[in-house]
Amino acid sequence: MGVLANDPNFLGGSFNYDVAEKYQRFIDMCDTFHLPIVNLSDQPGFTVGKQSEEHGTIRKGVRASFAIIQATTPMAVIYLRKCFGVAGGAQKSGIRLSWRYAWPSAVWGNIPVEGGVYAAHRRELESAEDPEACLEELQETYLTISSPFRTAEAFGIEDIIDPRDTRSLLCEWVETAYNVESKNLGPKKRGMRC
């Protein structure tokens, strides 16, 4: 099987242009050879900045997302820590046999509370009479709806698991994945990617 895992010590684990290309090639290789994929996800989002814009990080990230969508090989995702935005959404597609589990340390969604609330509500905060109080109020609002159980239900996570159970769950999953994938052997066809 193929194993995906990013390095949080490199750019915080974010998805930049070369990571997106490597991710896409790896998904395509596993899909071509009918290898189930385990994704140990800690994805804070796309890398931002001038260099990312110049190298087309978003465009390459979208292509990586399409690789996930077009792949038919089974995939298991274990959400370890962060998973935000479009890059976080590119970690799994619901088209095939896919299991999704989260560790209690996982936080995921559209935006992270720290920093993300400011970015999402910047104009509102800048026009507020008391920007600090407004930021605190917005962060509190986001924190009240950030229950991992509520989020797990909304995002279709099978269960929040004890990290010590990860290996046994993945062993069970890979047996099922091989049984499913062995019925789908043959050449793979993919559509065009922009």
| Predicted confidence (pLDDT) per residue in 13-69, tens digit | 788 888 889 989 999 999 888 899 999 988 777 777 888 888 888 888 888 888 888
Q: pLDDT tens digits, residue range 148-168?
A: 677 777 677 888 999 999 999
Please give the full DSSP string across 64-119, using - where no structure is assigned: HHHHHHH--S-EEEEEEEEEEHHHHHTT--SSSSEEEEE-TT-EEESS-HHHHHHH
Q: Which amino acid type is present at position 16?
A: N
**Which value, to the nearest 10 degrees, does the dihedral of the CA atoms of residues 74, 78, 83, 86 take?**
0
**Residue-range domains of the chain with CATH:** 2-111+148-184 (3.90.226.10)
Sole residue written with tokens 């052997």: 185
User: 139 pLDDT band (50/70/90 cuts)?
Assistant: confident
Backbone angles phi, psi at 76, to 5 degrees: -115, 135
Q: pLDDT tens digits, residue range 168-192?
A: 999 999 998 888 777 777 777 776 6
Sequence-separated (6 or more) residues with CB below 8 Å from residue 106: 79, 80, 81, 82, 83, 148, 160
d(CA 153, CA 30): 29
Mean per-residue pLDDT of the chain: 82
For residue 97, the surrounding DSSP H or E stretch is none
d(CA 124, CA 188): 49
The two three-digit tokens of residue 124, written as one number: 């509102």
Q: Model's pTM, two decimal places?
A: 0.76
